[in-house]
Amino acid sequence: MDIDKTLEEVKQTVRREKARDLKPIPSDFYSTATAAAKELESEMVKIGRPRSVEYKMLEDELSGLVTDVETVFMKRAGKVVERATSGAFTNSKNILLKKDVDKLLPAEQELYEDVLRAILKARTALIADLVDADKEESEKPVFKTESKGQMPIQKSEPKSQPKSEEPPAKETAVSDRPAAPTTNQAPASSANVINENYVFVRILKDLPEFMGEDKRTYQLKAQDEVELPAANANLLIKRGVAQGITGSSEGNPES
């Protein structure tokens, strides 16, 4: 038996098995490696001098051979278990791909079937009621019925309430403008109300951005004249940062 050739073939198999996919190995891989190990042991017995260089070389070769064969077995067993686990959660249970079957030794095929059977048993006992029920619910078809001859209902956009047309406010010089109201100033009078929901006001100081009752965002600065939701307008007037503007202007006296 060519021990050196066997040792090299085992090392090449270790390198190939580092890949995630299954690789075929000779059907006599393990038996050949076992025979090589026994021959190394026999040579060591013949030498009979554990401290000799020859004995230690054979001992290292035997140790390396055993380690490499175990590595091949563990990597291949891990790939078999991974495929069995995937098979337990797919529709093709109990089916191993033909291309993978051809790469497995008979004992490895039995390992696949045993692991798959054990996983399916545990799955049934622990999570089948939850997982399978959820799948059945998600796979139920959803049907929508529509009456014959019935026109689809078209949703119309809400119409904004028309603004009352009011004459422009009387323009006055800056010096003639009324002083800013105090915080105790009463809410806007009916003369300031454009409609029942909005009030026309003049902003007296820069304000931080805020969202009104109408869900619109307002960015207001001093001297801005704007129509605000009544709740917001009254609050700003009470705080002394806004002033109600009358909706009608006074006529100039005749000269």
Domain of 230: which CATH number? 3.40.5.50
Q: Give the per-residue pLDDT at 235.
A: 87
User: Distance (Å, rounded) from C-alpha 125 to C-alpha 140?
Assistant: 24
User: What is the CB neighbour count within 10 angstroms for residue 175?
Assistant: 5
24 and 130, same domain (yes or no): yes
Nearest Cα to Cα of residue 88 among 133, 114, 123: 123
User: At a CB cut-off of 8 Å and minimum separation 6, what does 205 contact?
Assistant: 222, 241
Please check whether residue 238 is in contact with residue 183, taking contact to mean a CB–CB distance below 8 angstroms: yes
Please check whether residue 233 is in contact with residue 244, taking contact to mean a CB–CB distance below 8 angstroms: yes
Number of domains, the chain: 2
102 and 207, same domain (yes or no): no
Nearest Cα to Cα of residue 81 among 102, 105, 110: 110
113 and 181, same domain (yes or no): no
240 and 121, same domain (yes or no): no
Domain that holds residue 205: 177-244
Please check whether residue 192 is in contact with residue 176, taking contact to mean a CB–CB distance below 8 angstroms: no
Q: 159 lies in a domain?
A: no
User: What is the CB neighbour count within 10 angstroms for residue 44?
Assistant: 20
Q: 141 lies in a domain?
A: no
Q: Give the per-residue pLDDT at 97.
A: 67
Q: 157 lies in a domain?
A: no
30 and 130, same domain (yes or no): yes
Please check whether residue 195 is in contact with residue 163, taking contact to mean a CB–CB distance below 8 angstroms: yes
Give 20's DSSP letter.
Answer: S
Backbone phi and psi for residue 171, each to the nearest 5 degrees, phi listed first: -80, 135
User: At a CB cut-off of 8 Å and minimum separation 6, what does 20 contact?
Assistant: 79
Q: 150 lies in a domain?
A: no
CB-neighbour burial class of residue 199 (10 A; exposed 0-12, middle 13-18, buried 19+): buried
Q: Give the per-residue pLDDT at 93.
A: 47
- Give Cα 107 distance to the centre of its chain: 41
Nearest Cα to Cα of residue 77 among 34, 119, 108: 108
Q: Give the per-residue pLDDT at 193.
A: 57
Helical H segments across 127-221, by residue range: 128-138
116 and 49, same domain (yes or no): yes
User: What is the CB neighbour count within 10 angstroms for residue 180?
Assistant: 13
24 and 125, same domain (yes or no): yes
What is the pTM for the complete model shown?
Answer: 0.51
102 and 17, same domain (yes or no): yes
Q: 171 lies in a domain?
A: no
124 and 197, same domain (yes or no): no
Q: Give the per-residue pLDDT at 135.
A: 60
116 and 222, same domain (yes or no): no
User: Distance (Å, rounded) from C-alpha 242 to C-alpha 237?
Assistant: 5
Q: 144 lies in a domain?
A: no
Locate the DSSP E strands across the chain. Answer: 198-203, 210-211, 217-218, 225-229, 242-244
Q: Give the per-residue pLDDT at 45.
A: 96
Q: 181 lies in a domain?
A: yes
User: Distance (Å, rounded) from C-alpha 249 to C-alpha 170?
Assistant: 5
Residues of the chain with pLDDT under 50: 93-94, 141-160, 162-165, 167-186, 191, 248-255
Last residue within a domain, chosen from 135, 150, 169 = 135
